[in-house]
Each structure stands twice: as structure tokens, then as C-alpha cells.
Amino acid sequence: MKTLVIAEKPDMGRNIAAVIEPRAKNHRTYLEGEQYIITWAIGHLVGLAEPDAYDPKYKRWNLRDLPIIPEQFKIVPNPKTKDQLKVIGEVAKRCSHIVNACDAGREGQYIFALIQQQLKLRQPVKRLWISDLTPESIAKGFAELKDGAEFEDLTQAARARSEADWLIGMNASRAFTTRHQTLLSVGRVQTPVLALIYDRQKEIEAFESQTFYEVKAVFRQDELEYTGTWQGERLTSKEKSDAISGKVQGKQGAVAKYEVKETKEYPFKLYDLTLLQREANAKYGYSAKKTLDLAQALYERHKVISYPRTNSNYVNEQNIEGMHKALHMLKSTSYGQMAEGADPKRVHIHNKAVCNPQRVEDHHAILPTLKRPGNLSKEEANIYDLIIIRFLSHFYPPAMYKQHTVLTEVEGETFKTGIKELLSLGWKVLIEKDKEQKKSEGPSRKSKDEEEDETQEWNERSFDIAPDRPVFCRKSEVKEKATQPPKSYTEGTLLKAMESAGKSIEDDELREAMKDSGLGTPATRAATIERLKKVGYITMQGKKITVTQKGRTAVELIRHAGVELLASPEMTGQWERRLHQISKGEASAETFMQNVQKFTVSIINKVSSQPPAPPSLFGGDADKPKGRGRGRSGKAAAGNPPGARKRPERSPSTPDNPVPSIREPLGRCPRAGCGGQIIEGRKGYGCANFKSGCSFVIWKEFAGKSISQAMLKSLLEQGRTKLLAFKREDGTAYKARIVLSSGGNGKLSLETETGTAV
């Protein structure tokens, strides 16, 4: 009898067949040769059953029927692909052995395991585990097939992940939806990610900018001229700043301290998927999903890169030879000049920045294969370019700099200067050739003021200062600045936060250690972000991610219910870590699922005692998805669930009515005779008595400023804010207070330092 090979997708199946059965007959849904029958899944052919498969009563969403905890999970074929599942079952009858050739990862293992379970396949199983789809890798993989039993722990982790998501998502989504009569999608990973975005947006809204001043001076010594920044406590007084500036200008000074040392900058790490998605978002504005799709096409269809769904930035010893061959291949491509300038000796098994087997688990870092790039689309070429430049950089020497630190003293005042003098570009010659590099850095690009605070780069001259000779302060000036709020998440920065479970970790080593505790996996993070968009919890404003009113309310209801774990990035990251341990045989899937079941019961108990939220909390219909009220694995389908009432439209006579919030009241309504409380809405702060006719509202945006809750408190209690910095249309700066009118209508105006209206 023959051996059945089950690939994950048709393209993969055809690539495999071209190597192991080049003369196989094409039967459209499978290929058959003398020894092998090669067929394929089309993603997930089988999935977990809906609740009504256990009891018809679950067709209607009812809080009293929860929790739903199956003793044994049922699986069902995907109706859209049931014909392909049938094909696999039929050809399997003619085979004595099976090769699992699905993607070499957790989800690929699960896809095969569900097919095997549904079709009751009893044949011995071998596992094809390869990182790219080149003929050489496929041939080598089949020559070194592994026993399927070696991957049982990975299968257990995959099942636990899927069933945990089903329990949390299906029960929590139904509980919150039926309790609050509005479709609320809740998930083990998506909800903590939403909470990250929500918390960042609240930080931004609560931020109150502070004005401060910076004194800069320009010093000259013969032909050398450099700039220094005054050192001391932050200056908040314009008068004191002006005094320092006037004190030093035109005066002679001395170099109080001078240090110089040579530094090296080594190439950035090879790409894993998350890092590739982050940089593609920063440079090209691609969503995480788009980058994944493009990388998958480069892997599957074009076969020019290795397996992209990896979480490793390193390679194994056996990859080094392939890297050298790939370098040679690139010499005959458009990257020829770059490849010719590379030094193969720099990439070897002792180079721990590249070859670190202890940091490689299922898959090594993303690498080019030996296949030359053919007809790539522009977007595919952009992703390939990122991968190639990063790959080639490790064959180049480090960039070399001299780091100069100068403390200059004038009239008792100290100024600090940092100079980064370029000695040799090294690997950076590769990115210098990319003319658009600096223009495309997106959200990671520093503002002009921030750049001035950084070390000054001297790329075309040497910094030759004589520390024992005097200097002259040619010019000094005072610059007015303002503290900046945290930046909104982009998809790139959100992926970084998901990777470290929301912890702000700048240290590369510590971030590496947190990878097993991140939110989701490299393969699933893009889908999580897309899910949040689809259910109406977040929207995109250019590259910035913004929480909708519905998304805000979802987070607040979950936290108010006392199930903080559902919205806790760090705790949910620990769950992902436990799943990783299960995949390595270091933890029990049974124990993990018992804990998930206990948590599911606690969610239902707490949500049941929560007061129903008013419909107006969830924003307008723009946030309400369309569709049926059921979904898989917590992915509650868009629309109203059975038994849920439709939310009323907003009154056309009161557009953007202030929306009541479950948060504490923010202050008393100043309108005479009202007595209501001010609460936060999507676009403004309004009176909770709006249904009774009170129209008081303070809009969140005024004169280019965002009205924070701290500013609101000042307006309600004192009628005005403290002095704030503003700019006129001609660019000149001035200071003024925002003032609340006494008319009880929430109207705002500006008043200058001298008390005159603007």
C-alpha cells in the first residue's frame, strides 16, 4: 500500500509532490504517484462544535444556562471544506502509512490531529518538520522523517489552547452579552490586548502637559563649534532661564571634563515574525496581518524565505552552511553589490549574535532560501528587502564611532555635549543605500525637539577639541518646551507590547526571556488585532490605534465585574507560558484545563451579579457589527444574540449626547438647579441628567488641547485651568488659561496671563 502525505495547503502539497513524486497524476484534490498520495487540508477542515451540539437549548443565549463545560469536546467538519475532508478520508483507505506535512508549528500540528481524530485514521504517522519549501529541504526532510509520537506534547498544548479559548470565549461572551443586552466578544487573548490599548488611551487623555525651558549654548574653539545643554534641575521659570542664558552669552569658558571612547554598533538581530511585522509597520505602514500574508506568500508560493511564523532570532549550527550558500546566490541578483561586499567569515558557529542553538526551538530565524526571487509584487519585494538587508548585515563589520562627552563651564554654569563621531559605517552602509530609510520610520521617528536632546552625530568631520584651552560662548538661547503624553499604540508598538505581555522592557535579554509569556504567539497576534477591529472595539486613525466607546465599555464592564484576569496582559501571558511548557512536556494539560474551568465558573458567578449596563454606554451603531449572534471559540459572531434587544438610535436632536459611564462621577453639574453629575462620554464630558433635558457638555477638544480629567476638575471647581502653552497661526507662542463660562452651557474661552480674552 501507499503512503498518504497530508500537507496544510494545496501549494505546499504540490511543492512536496514535485520532489517526492515528480510524475504523480493530478486528480485536482490530490496527487498520486507510485509510492505516495499527496493531498492537503485548506486550513482548519475540522473545529470545535458549537454549544448547541451538546444541547439544543444552547441555540438561545441564556445566562441561566451558563457555564457550558463539556465533559469531552466534540469536533465537527467545516461545512465549507467538507468535500476536501471526504477526499482525505477516501484516499487514506488505500494507504498503510501517513506523513503529517502540515506547517511545522503548534497550529499545523492541531490541524492534522483534528483530521486524524475526525476520520479515525489509525495508520502509523511520521512527521515532516522543515523550515522552508525548497526542493533541497523537502528532500532532506523526507530522508529524516520523525516519529509522530515525538510531537504528542505539542498536540496536547494545541488542544489545550483551543479548548481553553472555547471555554473562556464562549462562556464569557455569552455571559457579558446576555447580561448587558449588547454583543460583547470576550477572549482569553483579545481582551487583555484590548485592555493594553484602553489603558494607554486613558493615560494619554489624563496627561496634562507641563511647560519647561531649556538653555542651549554654542561654543567655539578656533574653527571648532559645538552646542551644549545647560545641566541642572528642570527649569520651569522663564525668568530664571533667561537669566542663565544672558549670564553666559559672550563669555569665556573652560572644558571642565572631557571623555572619549570608541564604541561599536553591531547589526540588529535576525528577524522573527513579530520583529518583521513591527518594522514593516514602522517603515511601510503594513498591518500585522498584511505582513504575515506577504511573508507567507514569500514562503509558500515563491519559496524564497524560510518558515516565517517563528519566534526565534537565531539559527542552529547546521544553518550556517545554508547562509553562506544564500549569500553566494544573492551575488547574481539585484543585491549583488551588497553581497560582494560581504565577508563570509563573519558568520560562523561561534558568532552568538547569529548562531545560538539554545535560543532556537521549533524554527530558526527568517532567512532567505537558495531560490532566486522571481516576479515579486511591490509589497512582497518590500518584505523580502527587509529580510535580505537584515541577513546581509551580519556579514559586515560593526559600525565604529568615537563617543565624545564634554562638560563646558561658563560663569559657574555647566553645559553638557554628546558627540557621536563616525569612524566607519560598517554594516550601516547597507541601510545608507536605502534613500527612503529615514523618511519611512513612521511612529518610531523622533520629533525635532527630541532629536536635539540626543547625542549629536558627526558623520563627515572629526571632533578635535583641546580640553586644556578656553572656549568662547558665541550664542545662547532659551527654548520653551512641553512634556509629551505617551504615544498611541500603532500595530508595530502593540506587537512589541504583546510580545512582553504588556511590560515595557527595553533590555533585549529580558525581553527575550519574556517571549514564552507573551500574549498569543507570533502566528496568532495579527489575527487578534484584526479580531478587535472586526468586533468594533478599535479603529485606526492613520497608524494610530484608538479604542471605540464600545471597546472602552467592554474593558470597564469586565474590570467592574471583578474578573480582572480576563483583562490582565501579564496573567494571560503566564497562561501562554504554561501552554509552551505543555508543548515541551514540562506541564500538565489536564491541570491547565482544570484551572481554566474553575476560572470560567468564577466569571459566570461574577457577571451574574453585575447590574445591566444602559444601552447608551456602547456608542452608536457604527460600533455594532452585523450578523448572527453565535460564534466559535469566543469569537462571538457580530450582531444581536438571540433574545438581546436592539440598542435605540441616538436622538437626532442631540447629536453626540454625553454617554453615561460606569466610572465614578467626575463632578457636579454647574448648571443652576440641575444637581446632576458630570460623566465621561466619547467626545465630551456631560451631565448624567441629559435624558431629563440638561444639555451641559464640555467637549474634549478645545483650541488644540485635549481636555483631561484633571483639567475638567479645575474647570468645574475653579472655573479655569492653570496657564497652558498655545500657539498662534503665525507660529508664535503664548500662555493662557481655558475658562468655563458662567452660563451653565459648558462654553469655553481663552484668557491670557494678563486676564484679557483671546
What is d(CA 299, CA 321) in angstroms, rounded to the nearest whole number? 20
Residue with C-alpha cell 532567505? 368
Tally the residues of the chain. Answer: 758
- CA 105/CA 363 separation, integer angstroms: 8
Q: Is 716 exposed, middle or buried (0-12, 13-18, 19+ CB in 10 A)?
A: middle
**CB neighbourhood size of 45 (10 A):** 24
> Does residue 145 contact residue 5 with C-beta atoms inside 8 Å?
no
> Strand order in 146-147's β-sheet?
25-26, 30-32, 36-40, 2-7, 95-101, 125-127, 146-147
Closest CA to 307 of 597, 144, 484, 104: 104
Checking DSSP bridges between strand 684-687 and strand 697-699, what pairing results, if any?
Answer: antiparallel
For 186, list phi and psi in degrees, rounded to 5: -125, 140
Closest CA to 493 of 444, 431, 547: 444
C-alpha closest to that of 237 among 217, 218, 210, 216: 210
**Locate cell 569665556: which residue?**
252
Any bridge partners for residue 48, and if so which? 75
CA distances (Å), 406 to each of 170, 231, 255, 261, 417, in order? 62, 12, 7, 12, 5
At residue 475, the 3 state secondary structure works out as strand
Radius of gyration of the chain from Cα atoms?
Answer: 31
Give SS3 for 715.
helix
- CA dihedral (651, 654, 659, 664) in degrees, to 10, reads -130
User: Which SS3 state, helix, strand or coil, does residue 559 take?
Assistant: helix
Start-to-end C-alpha separation, the chain: 89
Buried b (16+ CB within 10 A) or exposed e, 522-535: bbbbbbbbbbbeeb
Grid cell digits, residue 168:
473562556
Q: Is 401 one of the annotated active-site residues of the chain? A: no
Question: What distance in Å separates the CA atoms of residue 719 and residue 726, rounded to the nearest whole number?
Answer: 19
Between CA 603 and CA 608 the distance in angstroms is 8
Grouping H, G, I as helix, E, B as strand and the rest as coil, residue 698 is strand
Grid coordinates standing for 104? 511545522
**How far apart, in whole angstroms, are the C-alpha atoms of residue 456 and residue 475?**
18
Q: 681 and 657 in contact (C-beta within 8 Å)?
A: yes
Query: What DSSP assignment string belongs to 150-208?
Result: GGHHHHHHHHHHHHHHHHHHHHHHHHHHHHHTS-----TTHHHHHHHHHHHHHHHHH--
Q: How far is Cα 315 from Cα 677, in angstroms, rounded to an integer? A: 60
Give Cα separations from 24 to 13, 111, 301, 588, 647 (angstroms).
Answer: 12, 25, 20, 43, 58
| Options 110, 226, 307, 401, the catalytic residue | 307
> What grid cell was written down for 468?
586644556
- Amino acid making up residue 576: E
In contact, 711 and 699? CB cutoff 8 Å: no
Rounded CA gap, 196 and 71, in Å? 34
The Cα 654–Cα 105 span in angstroms is 53
Contact 311, 361 (CB under 8 A): yes
Active site residues: 307
